[in-house]
Amino acid sequence: MALESLKDIVKKIARSTTVDKALVEEVVRDIQRALLKADVNVRQVKEISDAIKKRALSEDVLPTFNVREHIIRIVYEELMRGIGEGLEIPLKKAKIMLVGLQGSGKTTTAAKLAKYFKDKGMKTGVIAADTWRPAAYEQLKQLAESYGIGFYGEKENKDAVEIARNGLKALKDYDMIIIDTAGRHALEEELIDEMIEIAKATQPDYKLLVLDAAIGQLASRQAKAFHDAIGINGIIITKFDGTAKGGGALSAAREIGIPIAFIGTGEKVEDFERFDPAGFVSRLLGMGDIKALLEKVERVVSEEELDPEAFLKGTFTLKDVYKQIEAMNKMGPISKIFELLPFGFSMKVDDSMMEMTQEKMKKFRVIMDSMTEEELLNPKIIDSSRIRRIAIGSGTSPQEVKELLKYYKTMKSVMKKMKKGKFGKLPIKGLP
């Protein structure tokens, strides 16, 4: 797709040594142009580019990062945010119903999906319930047979619901069943009724919409119409290979809030991949080194992390909070750091902790600077008269001191739980 040009942007940044306004503006302009050319919705382009501009100029360059890494990291994160999460279908017994307009690539996709799951070791079968397009039956049968995929169809039967029901019975020993349904030229009443009936009869675990990437931003209307009609839970974008407008389908998915599950990248059954946002964005940027970059971010975090010794002894003090805040200052907002950590940690942390703004961090630090060593090491002794003294000394209010203490307590309980292994693996160096 047209986002090829993002690679040139990356090259351009590589030559710079400072983050100045002109460079950021140039990068942002190039990104806007590339996204618009790829048919990404204008509002989303604006959101993404505004965010990049703001962050690139306001956030400090992380220690040991160069300008290129600084900007790429932000571009990467904002593109990721713009794309949203992909839908991962676990390798468990399931039924998938495919819907979409005629010509979107539904039947081909049914075979692609079946092969995908078969290659993962699942016993997979397809049901040909597209009774509208006469060739669909033969097409799917042939594809299924040549890839060793189970097949069920009734050539002469026009009753798609009956076929689907019979198909489930015939393929009852299969792990993954994919049901191809009819498409029409437009979403008509009759088609909607049929889809609803098939869904009722088969109770699919997933209703996936097949969208042709070439329709660009029209994808949004189409996806919304299908979603309103039967409720879809994932999107498969086909023909990503043949169009410069793929961004339109991506933004459509984002707009209606339905994750993308797979993309089709060619006519052959093999030309199919799971939609992995991180890999996708890395490829857009022409960077194999995003992973290395993220690992570097992680290293910076862990070097600034808590004292593991103290942590193990359970003596998490305000001094550790101080260190944490120092680390965050270098890294940007805490939520961003957690997002980058591959531990699924962020989801389980209290929201109030995520709202640590730069301003609040600064205030907390000032408050701690007014505490005695004893208070920092043993916050329990901080009673209301001490709170008043600290507030006066730091030019803050008792309320704010209490807020810091509350933050400390929350953190401490999080740490305790982490120690008990409740949060899984820890992002802290030196711990098992």
- Cα–Cα distance list, 52 to 7, 9, 21, 71 (Å): 17, 14, 12, 8
Q: Which is nearer to ligand GDP, 264 or 379 (CB)?
A: 264
108 assigned to a ligand binding site: no
Residue (150 or 246) nearer to ligand GDP, CB: 246
Q: Please state, as a whole number, how many other Cβ atoms lie within 10 Å of the Cβ of residue 113.
A: 27
274 labelled binding-site residue: no
In whole angstroms, how close is the CB of 243 to ligand GDP at the nearest point? Answer: 9
What is the three-class DSSP state of 93? coil
Min separation Cβ 240 and ligand GDP, Å: 6
Q: How far is the CB of 331 from ligand GDP (least distance, A)?
A: 40
Q: Is 345 annotated as a binding residue?
A: no
Please name the amino acid found at residue 273.
Answer: E
103 is in an annotated binding site: yes
Report in angstroms how near the CB of residue 220 gets to ligand GDP at its nearest. Answer: 19
Report in angstroms the alpha-carbon separations of 143 from 14, 113, 173, 269: 47, 12, 20, 8
Q: Which two tokens stand for residue 215?
A: 């329709």
Cα separation, 115 vs 122, in Å, equals: 9
286 in a known ligand binding site: no
Q: Write down the least CB distance from residue 132 to ligand GDP, Å.
A: 9
101 labeled binding residue: yes
Residue 421: count other Cβ atoms within 10 Å of its Cβ: 10
Q: Which residue, 204 or 264, is less far from ligand GDP as judged by CB?
A: 264
Ligand-binding annotation for 183, yes or no, is yes
Contact 337, 326 (CB under 8 A): no
* Residue 288, annotated as binding a ligand: no
∠ CA 212-94-178, nearest 5°, is 40
Max CA separation in the chain (angstroms) = 87
- DSSP alpha helix (H) spans, 171-307: 189-202, 218-230, 246-256, 277-284, 290-303
Query: Residue 267 CB, nearest distance to ligand GDP (Å)?
Result: 4
Amino acid present at 55: R
Our measurement of the distance from residue 407's CA atom to the centroid of its chain's CA atoms, rounded to an integer in Å, reads: 29
In whole angstroms, what separates CA 324 from the centre of its chain?
Answer: 27
Nearest to 375 by CA among 386, 385, 365: 386
Q: Which is nearer to ligand GDP, 265 or 317 (CB)?
A: 265
Distance CA 53, CA 381 (A): 45
How far apart CA 279 and CA 291 sit, in angstroms, is 9
10 Å CB burial of residue 244 (0-12, 13-18, 19+) is middle
CB of 418 to ligand GDP, least distance (A): 44
- By the criterion CB under 6 A, which residues form the site for ligand GDP? 100, 102-108, 133, 136, 183, 238-239, 241-242, 264-267, 271
- Nearest approach in angstroms of CB 1 to ligand GDP is 13
Are 199 and 233 in contact by the 8 Å Cβ rule? The answer is no
64 marked as binding residue: no
Which distant-in-sequence residues (6+ apart) come within 8 Å of 312 by Cβ? 419, 431
238 is annotated as contributing to ligand binding? yes
Q: Could you tell me the smallest distance in angstroms from the CB atom of residue 115 to ligand GDP? A: 13
Q: Find out whether 217 is annotated in a ligand binding site.
A: no
Closest separation in Å from C-beta 85 to ligand GDP? 22
Give whole-number Cα distances, 325 to 61, 95, 395, in Å: 17, 48, 19
Nearer to ligand GDP, 140 or 367 (CB): 140
- The response to whether 205 counts as a known ligand-binding position is no
Return the number of the residue (112 or 336) whose C-beta is nearest ligand GDP.
112
Q: Which is nearer to ligand GDP, 31 or 101 (CB)?
A: 101
What are the structure tokens assigned to 393, written together? Answer: 């000394």
The residue whose Cβ lies closest to ligand GDP is 264
User: CA angle at residue 251 from 56 to 347, to 5 degrees?
Assistant: 65
User: In terms of CB distance, is 76 or 272 closer to ligand GDP?
Assistant: 272
**Residue among 28 and 111 whose Cβ is closer to ligand GDP:** 111
* Cβ closest to ligand GDP, residue 205 vs residue 241: 241
Binding residues: 100-107, 180-184, 238-241
Binding residues for GTP: 100-107, 180-184, 238-241
